[in-house]
Homo-oligomer: A and B are copies of this chain.
């Protein structure tokens, strides 16, 4: 399960009949083919031989300047010498593990954590300790208690991994107070923090919060990517790290793939040269905000009362939690029969938790497909709820029609109450739903 969840959904790439709410896919269909051709034509005339050639391991200088631009837009001033261009943001996680971990070393991360980090932690045989979250992100009180407990056992984490903004998969954002707490804890204990921030610029409401890197540049390794503001197909991300760590990551990258695609790097550079890159991000924000709203409405309409889900202010994901008796790994097989996919919650844990949760993506498919996808999903969920009721008698057996009436009531209720996040994220500690 751990390693195959993300890969299986990658394999769905070429099956157009499946409505995939699984991937972390941006919508690349709005990028104009004419611009693609024109940018490539400009690379051809100016840098053809270099675009076809190896480049330096740390990335082309022209791309590092694009990175500095993007980070300035998120309130960070950096030196291009602090940048390592990587093969997607995923490679930052891989290189940090490759550089810092020996088998059995402790890594601390959120519960749930990014499903794509799980196989990486496993590949390097990390001993992963997951700290629960609520609507304000990782619980720093629990983090501190966890670190103290580890210290008593003579153990010291090699790093703390976090997605503070528009969390993947949880859809929540770490509060400013928690951010300050986290960098204080890291600084006091001289612990490295890997801040993974692929979605920071995709905010649909509310005000930006400072990144951890802007609060501390001594212990924070910063990771981001061009995947969500331009294209994941370029497979270009980056790390900004303290000197000695960056140096080791550079050596690690050299041994992993020598350098990242020059073709991709010159494309990105030409794109940033061609005009204000923020315009395209703004157009994506408009599209994704509507899709998020469509998905939230569809969930209210289609999911049974027993379900709960988060209300993300940005990013790409909603985290939904079903009644405990539903196993979303089993449910996925049933959902795939109905041509709809999601990431089962267990993929975001290393200890078997998350069994009744799921990650839903709202960026990768259009509004009609989101409605259709959530409806299909709602049907299989309600089917399970009804089946459970039949078998145990513990729940009233509602027909889909009856459930739809109930869901509509819930929707009306939800519209009156925009904040739909549970007190705590499902499968950690279940509290009564506010709207129940």
| Residues of chain A whose beta carbon lies under 8 Å from any beta carbon of chain B | 3-4, 6-7, 10-11, 13-14, 23, 25-26, 28-29, 31-34, 36-37, 40-41, 43-45, 48-58, 60-61, 86-88, 90-91, 94, 98, 102-103, 116, 119-120, 122-123, 227, 230-235, 250-252, 254-264, 267
Contact = CB atoms under 8 A, between A and B. Distances in A.
Contacts of A29: 49
A52 B251 contact: no
Nearest to A5: B254
B254 A119 contact: yes
| A interface secondary structure, majority | helix
Contacts of A257: 86-88, 90-91, 94, 235, 257
A98 B116 contact: no
Given A28-B49, A103-B103, A251-B4, A233 B94 contact: no
A231 B33 contact: no
Contacts of A267: 263
A13 B55 contact: yes
Nearest to A250: B7
B120 A255 contact: yes
B251 A57 contact: no
A91 B259 contact: no
B36 A37 contact: no
A224 to B, nearest CB: 15
Given A87-B257, A257-B88, A263-B267, A13 B52 contact: no
A205 to B, nearest CB: 27
A363 to B, nearest CB: 12
By Cβ-Cβ distance, the 8 closest A-B pairs, closest first, are A40-B40, A233-B262, A28-B52, A52-B231, A37-B44, A33-B48, A119-B255, A261-B261
Contact of A263 (B3, B32, B60, B261): B261
B256 A91 contact: yes
Given A98-B123, A123-B98, A254-B119, A51 B25 contact: no
